[in-house]
Amino acid sequence: MPESVWVAQSDPRVRPLLADLAREYSTRYHRVLADVHFELREYPAEHFAPPNGGLLVLLHDQRAVAGGAFQRYDDDTAELKRIWTHRAHRGHGLGRRVVAELEAEIALRGYRRIHLTTGPSQPEARALYLAAGYTPHFDVDAVPVTRLRFSKALPAPVGSR
């Protein structure tokens, strides 16, 4: 079973995640790879660092096989970003595990909601978020042509009123 590790974006173990995401987005959206690499660096690394964010990787034999991040969206809401599973490790529940671990950390940080968007050419991501209980803010029966927005309310912390 892969080990969960919270890391900084500068950690060398994050490089495979960002490189594979860039390749994936470039292929699926017919974009220039260099432009996608630039977009993945659009947010400063500190957006994905405590106290407002975090970056998680799952390691198997010290290699990143899945991961994801979150950043502050507003005072009560975190935004999921960069959810990824290496293609050789897909279909084993690692994406669900990443989302669940991110959700748990987000709740510990005091956020009450989660926001995310994914692209129309990522049916696996769409299915993951629907299965994980995210509310779609689009017509799920329509052919998607634009960003797919989701949200999810987090349960109140134990002992709160």
Give the pLDDT confidence score for residue 35 in this predicted structure: 59
The SS3 assignment for 149 reads strand
Tell me: the pLDDT tens digits for 81-112? 999 999 999 999 999 999 999 999 999 999 99
- Mean pLDDT over 70-84 rounds to 96
Give the pLDDT confidence score for residue 39 in this predicted structure: 61
Residue 72 contacts residue 110 (beta carbons within 8 Å): no
Give the pLDDT confidence score for residue 33 in this predicted structure: 62
| Least confident interval from 16-25, 63-72, 73-82, 124-133 | 16-25
- Mean pLDDT over 17-26 rounds to 84
Q: Is the pLDDT of residue 113 over 80?
A: yes
Greater model confidence, 14 or 30: 14
Q: How many CB atoms neighbour CB 29 within 10 A?
A: 13
* Residues whose CB falls within 8 Å of the CB of residue 141, separated by 6 or more in sequence, listed in order: none
Q: Is the pLDDT of residue 66 over 90?
A: yes
* Residues whose CB falls within 8 Å of the CB of residue 103, separated by 6 or more in sequence, listed in order: 114, 152, 154
- Mean pLDDT over 20-36 rounds to 76
Give the pLDDT confidence score for residue 161 in this predicted structure: 43
Tell me: the pLDDT tens digits for 139-152? 999 988 889 999 99
The candidate with the shortest Cα–Cα distance to 68, out of 43, 102, 100, is 102
What are the CA-CA distances from residue 148 to residues 4, 6, 38, 135 (Å)? 28, 27, 22, 11
Give the pLDDT confidence score for residue 44 in this predicted structure: 86
Q: Is the pLDDT of residue 45 over 80?
A: yes
